[in-house]
A and B are shown apart, each in its own frame.
Chain A
């Protein structure tokens, strides 16, 4: 790679993919997120860490408007995806969620076949003109999720019959199949054993080549292993946001330091 290309890549990486400004979230009267400003970069893994109930999952769910499904949730402020306000009344959350995919804490494959699980997104978004194209999309999504070799002979078997780690990779494949630009992961490894966790983390690192990833995690080691940027949330505030190495070795805020050294949380 020559210097020019490298410079262009750095330039692209520095441009914020998602930029949140003054975001407040309320659940009825509960002020869950307080005035959060954050810029999430493209082709970067951003980790959200913090103690339980600090609002990191809530904030993550704001990024693809999953909070819309909760009647009592109310969001103020501005979240821009590539400079467009995703809470603009003209935005259809369905289109947004095709661009901003999500993987959940508990593996939640549809009770259908592996093929149907992965092909569902492309099918409803009309991404394939025929069956051959659809099969191609499914294969490439499963390959990206490092699941293809394990399931290629039983694509018609139910997705719920896979092991926990395989199910979670199936969910990642399902999210990847709709060709999103951002992938949100809400504690994707909390229900998995260390081996499956290692596979998913490896996968996250590979996916970073093409996507902007945001991962919520309770494991600080995981955050340190997979992310380049880390945001520390505490009681609904974004306390500190910066380079992962910097946050873990040289935190600026005393609360961050207390959390990563295990004194609070």
Chain B
């Protein structure tokens, strides 16, 4: 070794004294940590505000007011001929049933000794949902034998009365509202006192179909949940095999040349294409060209499959890439074929990553709204779709579209419904993400 002078002199100075440079570096680090902490706190704050506002608005959708009234099923009103012929009885429309319910409310008032000035019998009947006559008519048509008797029925209270108990409607607003009067509110209070009106958990919010603008209290998510479920079935059945097969082929078998490069770039591009574009594609190809029915889960599922595919392929390829090459070499070294190597060794190790990608992709598809608007899923559907597989061709809506639909309605009761539906959607998404985490934990293996 020749003598080469080192640049700069040896460091001198006590270790106990911090020099200016070190102090600056430490300050920079402290600043960076603060920024990070602020960013995380802001994110958390936004999440808390979101959750609180959604739950604050929507939790009440799961509770609903019900009125129990004794309804006398008058024979002369409901079956004038007295033949009990269903065809004849069906001629009496819901308008014929409404007065019976009003009379029933009056009877309930009389029984409880409630007297309210300025409230007619018809007005008293107004506290019951407009859905009630249809419910009563269905009951009578299927039980004609009960005609002439008095039966206790539990009906939904009207949206305004329900809103009164949820704080949405007050005596002041009722005075200005032609759908509800302050006297009706007094009656509701009195009935509640007497035990004929109660607020309880509302299963029909989850199971019932949508209802019209005048009956927010009857609107439910049944059709939307079924529609979303059918679409997820279609997406799962198509996107899982196609996505996994494509990623395995591209990652393990495809030659690396210009064509596969172009394919790779385009898969990444597809993941970034706005979802509404897929909606237009679906409208043009699946509905206009292939002639599939509008508003059907099959079309929604196909569109969402297209949208989800790149989002499954990209994480699946990443999972396959993450399998160490030594495992592949080991398998090839004992004479396994390429396919045996992939299916016996690589795929099991990549499975947790693929599953996670799949479930997150499904979760995104479940929450997707825009493409569904274009293929007619934003419809008013009161009929449940049939069971699968036929059901995927029946009209249905989807959860996010139902939320969108309800936010468009004028009655404030639908605001509550929409927030409630968001809670249901978020619960489904939470369950799916939780499943992803659990599956990853369960199948993750070390090597």
Interface residues of A (CB under 8 A from B): 64, 66, 69, 71, 94-98, 101-104, 106, 108-111, 120-121, 124-125, 160, 171, 174-175, 177-178
Contact = CB atoms under 8 A, between A and B. Distances in A.
Interface string B329-347: 1111111110010001100
B214 to A, nearest CB: 62
Contact of A94 (B326, B337, B447): B337
A111 B446 contact: yes
11 contacts: A71-B256, A94-B335, A97-B332, A98-B335, A104-B333, A106-B326, A111-B447, A120-B336, A121-B336, A124-B344, A160-B447
A109 B330 CA distance: 7
B113 interface: no
Interface in B238-258: 255-256
A101 B329 contact: no
A97 B330 contact: no
A121 B329 contact: no
Most buried by B among A96, A109, A120: A120
B124 to A, nearest CB: 73
Contacts, number: 70
B109 interface: no
Contacts of A125: 335
B442 to A, nearest CB: 15
Interface of B is mostly: helix
Contacts of B447: 111, 160
A174 B256 CA distance: 31
A69 B335 contact: no
Given A104-B326, A124-B340, A111 B333 contact: no
B327 interface: yes
B330 A111 contact: no
B200 interface: no
Nearest to A184: B333
A80 to B, nearest CB: 19
A98 B337 CA distance: 11
Given A111-B447, A160-B446, A160-B447, A94 B336 contact: yes
A101 B334 contact: yes
Contacts of A102: 329, 333
A178 B334 CA distance: 7
Given A71-B256, A106-B326, A64 B446 contact: no
B333 A101 contact: yes
Contacts of B446: 111, 160
B255 to A, nearest CB: 7
A200 B249 CA distance: 38
Contacts of B187: none
Contacts of A104: 326, 329-330, 333
Nearest to A111: B447
Nearest to B329: A104
A229 B98 CA distance: 105
Contacts of B324: 108
B25 interface: no
B327 A110 contact: yes
Given A110-B345, A111-B446, A160-B447, A120 B334 contact: yes
Nearest to A107: B326
Contacts of B178: none
Interface residues of B, number: 22
Contacts of A69: 328-329, 332
A124 B326 contact: no
A66 B335 contact: no
A102 B336 CA distance: 12
Contacts of A160: 446-447
A66 B329 contact: yes
Closest 5 CB pairs of A and B: A98-B335, A108-B326, A121-B334, A102-B333, A97-B335
Nearest to B328: A69
Contacts of B219: none
Contacts of A96: 335
Contacts of B340: 124
Contacts of B336: 94, 120-121, 124
A73 to B, nearest CB: 13
Nearest to A159: B447
Contacts of A175: 333-334
Given A97-B332, A120-B334, 9 more contacts: A66-B333, A97-B333, A98-B334, A101-B333, A104-B326, A110-B331, A111-B445, A121-B334, A174-B334
Contacts of A174: 330, 334
A252 B310 CA distance: 61
Interface in B413-447: 445-447
A110 B447 CA distance: 8
B334 A108 contact: no
A111 B324 CA distance: 11
Interface in B316-369: 324, 326-337, 340, 344-345, 349
A108 B335 contact: no
B332 to A, nearest CB: 6
Contact of A121 (B328, B335, B337): B335
Contacts of B326: 104, 106, 108
Given A71-B255, A94-B337, A104-B326, A111 B349 contact: yes
A124 B335 CA distance: 8
Contacts of A110: 327, 330-331, 345
A204 to B, nearest CB: 17
A60 to B, nearest CB: 12
A99 to B, nearest CB: 8
A178 B331 CA distance: 12
B45 to A, nearest CB: 42
A108 B446 CA distance: 12
Most buried by B among A64, A110, A125: A110
A95 B349 contact: no
Contacts of B337: 94, 124
A108 B330 contact: yes
A160 B445 CA distance: 10
A110 B333 CA distance: 12
Nearest to A117: B330
Nearest to B256: A71
